C-alpha cells in the first residue's frame, strides 16, 4: 500500500492516483478494441477475396485445372511460411518422419476438401456455394454426437434444420443449377466435416511426436501445404490436367499469373488473419463474424459475376444466411452453458 503522504500530494493536484490511471486504462481498452476491429476487418476481407478471386480464375478465365490452381497456391504458402520461419519471424515444428506419418491421413482429407471446393466453385455461383456449405455444419454436428457423444441443445438442431431447408429450397430455385457442381459440393461438405472431426484426434497425437510437445497454427499450415504438394502432382496426372496446361494460352498471360499468385497470398492471409482475429477476440466472436461475413460475400458474388437469380432463390439464400447466424448464436449459448 502507498503511504498517506502520497495520497495528500495527489489530492493537492486535484486527483487521486487511481484517477490518474483511468486515461491510461481507457487508452489500453481503445487500443485493444482497435486491434480487434482491424483484425476482424482483415479476416473478412481476406476470406471474401479468396473465394471471389478463385471464382474469377475458374469461371471468368475459364481455367479448367482446379487441382493445378490449388497446387500453386499451396506452393506459395510453403515458400512464404518457410521464409518467415527461416528469418525467425514465426516458429514452426521441423517435419520429422514420425510427424508426417501421423499427419498424412488428415492431409488426404485436406487435399480432397480443397480439390472438391475448386470443382464445385467452377460450376456453382458463390452465393449458393455459401449456402450449401451450411450442410457441413449438419454433418459435423451428427459426427460429434456419434463419435464424441456430444449432445446439442434444441436451438442448435433448429438452426441446422433451417440450414437444410434453405439448401434444398436454394437448389430447387437456382436458375443456374448445375448437377455436377452440386455433386462436387456435397462431397466437399462430407470431406470438410471429416477434416474437422479427424483434426481433433490427429492434433492430440501429433503433439506427442513434435520436439516441443506443441503444434501451432503455422506448423499446421506448413504440414498441410507441404504434404499436399506430392499428392497434388499425382492428382494432376490422374485428372489429366497436364495436357490442358500444355495447350492453354492462359499461362502466357501476365495478368493471369498475377491473379493466381494473388490467390496464393490470400490463401495464406486467411490463416494469418484468422489467428490474429481469434487471438484479439475469442471463439464465439470469431464464429459469429464468420457467419455474418457470408452475407456481403453472397451479395458480392451475385453482383460481380452477374448471376441470374429470382425472388424465390434470393429469399432462399437470405434464409440460409440468417440460419447460419442463428446457428452461430445457438453455438455461443451452448458453449456458455457447458
- Please give the full DSSP string across 7-26, using - where no structure is assigned: HHHHHHTTS-HHHHHHHHHH
pLDDT given at position 205: 87
Say if residues 277 and 42 touch (Cβ distance below 8 Å). Answer: yes
Cα angle: 188, vertex 194, 197; to 5 degrees: 145
Q: 276, 133, 122, 125: which is closest to 192 by C-alpha?
A: 133
- How far, in Å, CA of 39 to CA of 177, rounded? 36
Q: What is the pLDDT of residue 249?
A: 95
- The answer to whether the beta carbons of residues 110 and 224 sit under 8 Å apart is yes
Maximal CA-CA distance, the chain: 86
Q: Are residues 245 and 65 in contact, defined by beta-carbon separation less than 8 angstroms?
A: yes
Between CA 92 and CA 223 the distance in angstroms is 9
The answer to whether 78 touches 226, Cβ cutoff 8 Å, is yes
Q: What is the pLDDT of residue 171?
A: 93
Q: How far is CA 36 from CA 32, 98, 285, 337, in A?
A: 6, 38, 10, 25
Residue 73: per-residue pLDDT: 95
Q: How far apart (Å, rounded) are the C-alpha atoms in residues 176 and 55?
A: 15
| Digit-coded pLDDT (tens) for 144-154 | 888 888 888 88
Nearest to 59 by CA among 111, 126, 115: 126
Please choose, from the candidates 305, 307, 320, 268, the residue with its C-alpha nearest in 3D space to the C-alpha of residue 55: 305
Q: Which residues of the chain have pLDDT under 70?
A: 1-33, 282-284, 338
Closest to 277 measured CA to CA, from 286, 289, 268, 287: 286
The predicted structure's pLDDT at residue 25: 52
Amino acid at each position: 500500500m502507498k503511504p498517506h503522504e502520497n495520497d495528500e500530494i495527489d489530492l493537492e493536484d486535484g486527483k487521486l492516483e487511481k484517477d490518474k490511471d483511468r486515461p491510461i486504462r481507457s487508452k489500453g481498452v481503445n487500443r485493444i478494441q482497435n486491434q480487434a476491429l482491424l483484425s476482424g476487418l482483415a479476416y473478412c476481407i481476406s476470406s471474401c477475396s479468396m473465394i471471389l478471386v478463385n471464382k474469377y480464375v475458374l469461371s471468368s478465365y475459364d481455367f479448367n485445372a482446379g487441382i493445378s490452381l490449388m497446387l500453386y497456391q499451396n506452393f506459395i504458402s510453403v515458400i512464404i511460411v518457410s521464409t518467415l520461419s527461416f528469418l525467425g519471424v514465426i516458429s514452426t515444428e521441423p517435419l520429422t518422419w514420425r510427424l508426417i506419418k501421423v499427419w498424412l491421413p488428415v492431409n488426404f482429407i485436406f487435399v480432397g476438401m480443397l480439390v472438391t471446393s475448386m470443382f464445385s466453385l467452377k460450376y456453382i455461383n458463390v452465393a449458393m456455394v455459401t449456402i450449401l456449405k451450411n450442410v457441413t455444419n449438419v454433418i459435423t454436428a451428427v459426427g460429434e454426437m456419434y463419435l464424441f457423444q456430444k449432445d446439442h441443445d434444441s436451438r442448435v438442431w433448429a438452426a441446422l434444420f433451417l440450414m437444410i431447408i434453405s439448401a434444398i429450397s436454394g437448389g430447387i430455385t437456382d436458375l443456374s443449377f448445375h448437377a455436377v457442381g452440386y455433386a462436387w459440393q456435397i462431397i466437399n461438405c462430407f470431406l470438410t466435416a471429416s477434416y474437422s472431426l479427424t483434426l481433433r484426434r490427429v492434433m492430440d497425437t501429433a503433439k506427442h511426436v513434435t520436439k516441443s510437445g506443441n503444434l501451432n497454427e503455422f506448423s499446421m499450415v506448413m504440414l498441410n501445404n507441404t504434404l499436399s504438394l506430392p499428392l497434388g502432382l499425382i492428382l494432376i496426372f490422374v485428372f489429366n490436367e497436364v495436357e490442358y496446361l500444355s495447350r492453354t494460352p492462359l499461362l502466357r498471360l501476365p495478368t493471369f499469373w498475377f491473379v493466381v499468385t494473388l490467390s496464393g497470398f490470400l490463401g495464406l492471409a486467411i490463416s494469418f488473419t484468422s489467428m490474429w482475429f481469434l487471438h484479439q477476440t475469442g471463439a464465439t466472436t470469431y464464429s459469429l463474424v464468420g457467419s455474418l461475413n457470408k452475407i456481403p460475400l453472397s451479395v458480392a458474388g451475385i453482383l460481380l459475376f452477374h448471376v441470374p437469380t429470382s425472388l424465390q432463390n434470393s429469399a432462399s439464400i437470405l434464409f440460409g444466411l440468417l440460419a447460419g447466424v442463428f446457428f452461430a448464436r445457438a453455438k455461443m449459448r451452448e458453449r456458455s452453458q457447458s
